[in-house]
Amino acid sequence: MNDIFTYMFPGLMMMWMIFIGQNLMADVYTESERKTLPRMLGTPVNLNQFLVSKIIRCVIVCLMAEGLLMLFTAVVFRVRWGNPFWLILVIVAANLSITGLLAVVYGLAKTKILADAITVVVGLLTAFLGGGMIPFDEMPFLMKAIGSWTFNRWSVQGLQAVMNARPLGEITIPVMKLLLFGFVTTGLGMYWMRRRFQAGRLS
Amino acid sequence: MNTIWILVKKDLLRDLKRPWGLLVLLCIPVITGWFMALAFGGGEGSESAVVIHVAVLDQDGNFIGGMMRSLGSQGDAQRNLQIHPVKTVEEGIRLLERRKASAFLVLPENLTNDLIVGVTASVQLYKNPAEAMLPKVVEQGTSLLAVGISEFMDLLGPQVKEVVDLLESGTAPSNWLLAMRFYQGLQKLDTVRDYVFPPLIRFETVAANEYIPSASRIASGTGGAS
């Protein structure tokens, strides 16, 4: 069972991180609804700082959640997660890409409810295509081809490379992809969210 | 940067005050992963967990019947095969209906004698309709066994007949006679050795100078090891 668990769990973990991150990212709009955001903006805090703080918080909380999951699975299911340094590097990069994706969704969606719905669809779809629900190697060619371009797949590749103590090249390539994806999407997401807040579209 | 850190700290402290939502969300991937692992890979020690229960009605009561009944207690089969001897067809079918057996095998009367004299014999197999895979495994296994026994009887039919006759006569055979029958059996088996144990792949460890003829010349020429 341990082998299957080791094979499937990283993908599942990444899928659920999207849903955990979703609650955290939605907090941007909850602050606005509860009128705490305008009060905060009345202080020396500006909108950029507020958004960056939310993104950092999302990365940190996901990191803590993943840490708890890894600890639990290592103790209970005897999953060997590999070198902690590389592991932290991979999951930080993965969390950045999750946060970036969520920032884009919450920045572009017209309402918070729509953003929540899109996140569920995106989360499930990327997890499915990225091998978080069914073994990636057993998927048809077309699905594999699409799945290879999902952040979920890169995260799983990175995590499994660390778990199997693969050469550094096999770890750094998915990490670079995740970081690039994460920085680009975070930048875009922040830009779109800022535009929304500045335009007063806060529903 | 300090302002950002204060904002992050405020949010994190708020999260720590109400961690239950997060913890519940964390339980879901663990449970899902566990169920998936169970579904795809089985539990710990799942290799020996699959046991096929087969009810057997031995109407033959002779050499072949006894051999087939004893399959469940030999080699690896004793881990994965459980034979349930029954006395009537009804009893066997009842076991199937109660899902206590995956299949029910009926060995007909005079099976051994029919095989010895070359009369076609047939065994009956009842498969449990409530199961998908295991009855098919039994069916395949029975087919394989039938082929094996047919070939075995083709080859060693006379020897088996003599053994059966000896057993049925009730007299104790002499050691010489038993040794002769055993030797004759071995001789017959020797003729089909290449078919039963085909030498498809053979590993041999040889020294380099034996494998490469020139290596020995190099070794002797230079005086070094090869």
- With beta carbons less than 8 A apart as the criterion, state whether A163 and A80 touch: yes
Report the gap between the CA of B7 and the closest CA in chain A (Å).
Answer: 6
Longest CA pairwise span in chain A (Å)? 55
Report the gap between the CA of A24 and the closest CA in chain B (Å).
Answer: 10
Q: How do residues B18-32 score in pLDDT, each as one tens digit?
A: 888 778 877 877 787
Taking CA atoms, what residue in B is nearest to A60?
B12
**Tokens read off for A169:** 């090249």
Q: How do residues B50-97 score in pLDDT, each as one tens digit?
A: 788 899 988 888 777 787 777 766 766 777 888 888 889 999 999 888
Q: How does the average pLDDT of chain A come out, rounded?
A: 87
Chain A residues in contact with B46 by the CB 8 A cut-off are: 1
**Tokens read off for B115:** 């095989």
In angstroms, the CA A115 to CA A105 distance is: 6
Predicted TM-score (pTM) of the model is 0.58
- With beta carbons less than 8 A apart as the criterion, state whether A78 and A30 touch: no
**Tokens read off for A111:** 């309402």
* Mean pLDDT of the A7-29 span: 86
Q: Would you give per-residue pLDDT tens digits along chain B (226 residues)?
A: 788 888 888 888 888 888 887 788 778 777 877 777 676 655 554 455 578 889 998 888 877 778 777 776 676 677 788 888 888 999 999 988 888 889 999 988 888 888 878 888 888 999 988 887 888 888 998 888 888 888 887 888 777 777 777 777 777 777 887 788 788 888 887 887 777 777 666 677 777 767 766 555 555 544 444 3
Chain B residues in contact with A22 by the CB 8 A cut-off are: none
- With beta carbons less than 8 A apart as the criterion, state whether A22 and A103 touch: no
- How many Å separate Cα A125 from the centre of its chain? 14
- With beta carbons less than 8 A apart as the criterion, state whether A130 and A52 touch: no
Calculate what percentage of chain A has a pLDDT beyond 70. 97
Give the number of A-B residue pairs with CB atoms closer than 8 Å: 81
**Tokens read off for A79:** 């999953």
Taking CA atoms, what residue in B is nearest to A132?
B33
**Tokens read off for A98:** 């999750």
In angstroms, the CA A20 to CA A5 distance is: 21
ipTM of this complex: 0.79
**Tokens read off for B126:** 């009842």
Residues 37-76 of B with CB under 8 A from A: 37-38, 40-44, 46
Report the gap between the CA of A1 and the closest CA in chain B (Å).
Answer: 5
Taking CA atoms, what residue in A is nearest to B25?
A20
Q: How do residues A107-165 score in pLDDT, each as one tens digit?
A: 898 888 899 899 999 989 988 888 877 778 778 888 888 989 999 999 999 998 898 88
Report the gap between the CA of A137 and the closest CA in chain B (Å).
Answer: 15
| Backbone φ, ψ for residue A34 (5° rounding) | -85, 5
A203 CB neighbour count, 10 Å cutoff: 12
What pLDDT, on a 0 to 100 scale, did the predictor assign at position B25? 77
